[in-house]
Amino acid sequence: MVALFTALTVIGTMIKIPLPTGAFVHLGNAVLLLSVLLLGYVKGSLAGGLGFAIFDILNGYAAEAPYFIVESFIVGAVAYGLFLVYRKNPTRIW
C-alpha cells in the first residue's frame, strides 16, 4: 500500500493546475492527506514523502528531496492530529 500511494503521489504531483500568478497547484498534497488518513501517520507520510522525493529527483530537483520528505511528515502530523481530535468529538468544529 505504501508503494501504491507513493506512485499515486508522484502521478498527482505531475498533474499541475496553473494559477494566474505563474505558480501552480498540484494534486500530490491531496494524495498525501488521503494516504495519511487511510494508512496511518507513519506509513502515509512515508508514502507521500517518497513520492515527492521521487518526483523531485526525476525532474532535476534532487537537492530539495529531503526537504519534501520532512514536509510530508509535518503535514501528515497535522492532518492526523486533526483527524484524531475530530474523531473524539465529531460535533465540535473548533
Could you report the per-residue pLDDT of 21-31, keeping only the tens digit for each?
988 888 999 99
For 77-86, what is the mean pLDDT? Answer: 88
Cβ proximity of 39 and 2 under 8 Å: yes
Is 72 part of any domain? Answer: yes
Cβ proximity of 67 and 24 under 8 Å: no
Is 93 part of any domain? Answer: no
Q: How many domains does the chain have?
A: 1
Return the pLDDT at 89. 67
Please say if the pLDDT value at position 16 is more than 80: yes
Is 47 part of any domain? Answer: yes
CA distance 33 to 85: 16
Cell numbers that stand for 31 in this block: 494524495
- Which residues span the domain enclosing 43? 2-88
Is 44 part of any domain? Answer: yes
Is 42 part of any domain? Answer: yes
Cβ proximity of 65 and 57 under 8 Å: yes
Is 94 part of any domain? Answer: no
Return the pLDDT at 92. 60
Phi-psi bin for 10: left (phi > 0), alpha (psi -120 to 50), beta?
alpha
Please say if the pLDDT value at position 45 is more than 70: yes
* Sign of the Cα pseudo-torsion (30, 31, 34, 36, in order): negative
Is 58 part of any domain? Answer: yes
